[in-house]
């Protein structure tokens, strides 16, 4: 009986954490959260960007394949690589005027007609601003993505060897509107994965990165960080 009472008294007299101990514990939790949360958020954003990029690639490639099956031409047949005027935005067919990137995608992918003809443009690399390049055309899609591409045609000698360089922007007008650009170490850390990815429109496919055509087939260039990032993202 005495032993039982002693154990009960010990439990009743047992003290909890002091205020100081509680504050120290909370401080430690706060430091750990401050260290780990940014990395967790960055990793989540990176995975979301890569998933959106892969989805956009699948959508575009399916549109090209559908166009080949239905209208009989792909990127190798492009001869008039412009967008139609707003008042003729729905005009489609297989005549020469429609053999463009727009002609391939307009009825085969979910193009956002309103956004595409609104006059609003994605700034930065999608306009060729950073490189002083030519004006790029921009097509917006209903899922919020966009495609920015050079207005090259099949009779352009550069196109014959390099295809049409383009950018997939996974969130359209929303920022940061920056190209993904990284080497292997930076790609693994997710530091340089952004919302734009370099792709090449060539023949019947949309290729990740910078691709050129050689006597031995298609060759992917890994010399630029932009091209490497796009190729890395599609394989992860």
Residue 14 domain-assigned?
A: no
CA angle 71, 74, 80 (to 5 degrees): 90
Structure confidence at residue 36 (pLDDT): 64
Structure confidence at residue 89 (pLDDT): 44
Domain count, the chain: 1
CA dihedral 57, 177, 116, 98 (to 10 degrees): -50
In DSSP terms, 211 is beta-bridged to 220
Nearest-angstrom CA–CA distance, 166 and 160 = 15
- Burial letters 108-129, b for 16+ CB under 10 A, else e: bbebbeebbeeeebbebbbbee
Residue 132 domain-assigned?
A: yes
CB 127 within 8 A of CB 179: no
Structure confidence at residue 144 (pLDDT): 92
What range does the domain containing 209 cover? Answer: 52-234
Structure confidence at residue 167 (pLDDT): 93
Residue 5 domain-assigned?
A: no
Residue 200 domain-assigned?
A: yes
* pLDDT digit string (tens) for the chain, length 236 residues: 544 455 555 555 555 668 777 777 777 777 776 666 566 555 677 888 999 999 999 999 999 999 888 888 888 877 766 655 544 444 444 444 467 788 888 777 788 888 888 888 898 888 765 555 556 788 899 999 999 987 765 555 555 677 888 999 999 999 889 999 988 777 877 668 899 999 999 889 999 999 988 888 888 888 889 999 999 999 88
Nearest residue to 221 via CA among 170, 162, 178, 169: 162
Structure confidence at residue 116 (pLDDT): 84
Structure confidence at residue 81 (pLDDT): 64
| Cis peptide bond upstream of 176, omega within 30 | yes
Nearest-angstrom CA–CA distance, 107 and 137 = 17
Residue 93 domain-assigned?
A: yes
CB 74 within 8 A of CB 94: no
Residue 29 domain-assigned?
A: no
| C-alpha distances in Å from residue 135, one per residue of 131, 149, 150, 154 | 11, 9, 7, 18
Structure confidence at residue 94 (pLDDT): 40
Residue 112 domain-assigned?
A: yes
Residue 87 domain-assigned?
A: yes
Structure confidence at residue 117 (pLDDT): 81
């Amino acid at each position: 009986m005495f032993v039982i009472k002693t154990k009960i008294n010990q439990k009743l007299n047992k003290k909890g954490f002091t205020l100081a101990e509680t504050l120290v514990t909370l401080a430690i939790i706060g430091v750990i959260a401050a260290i780990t949360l940014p990395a967790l958020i960055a990793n989540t954003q990176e995975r979301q960007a890569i998933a959106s990029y892969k989805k956009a690639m699948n959508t575009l490639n399916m549109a090209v394949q559908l166009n080949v099956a239905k209208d009989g031409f792909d990127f190798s047949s492009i001869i008039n690589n412009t967008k139609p005027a707003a008042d003729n935005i729905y005009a489609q067919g297989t005549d020469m005027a429609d053999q463009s990137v727009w002609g391939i995608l307009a009825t085969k992918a979910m193009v956002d007609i309103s956004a595409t003809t609104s006059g609003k443009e994605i700034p930065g690399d999608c306009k060729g601003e950073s490189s002083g390049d030519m004006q790029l055309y921009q097509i917006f899609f209903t899922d919020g993505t966009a495609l920015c591409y050079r207005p090259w045609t099949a009779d352009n000698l550069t196109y014959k060897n390099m295809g049409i360089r383009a950018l997939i922007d996974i969130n359209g007008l929303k920022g940061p509107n920056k190209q993904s650009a990284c080497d292997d170490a930076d790609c693994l850390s997710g530091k340089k994965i952004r919302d734009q990815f370099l792709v090449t429109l060539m023949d019947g496919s949309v290729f990740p990165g910078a691709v050129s055509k050689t006597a031995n087939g298609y060759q992917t260039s890994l010399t630029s960080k932009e091209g490497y990032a796009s190729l890395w993202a599609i394989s992860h």
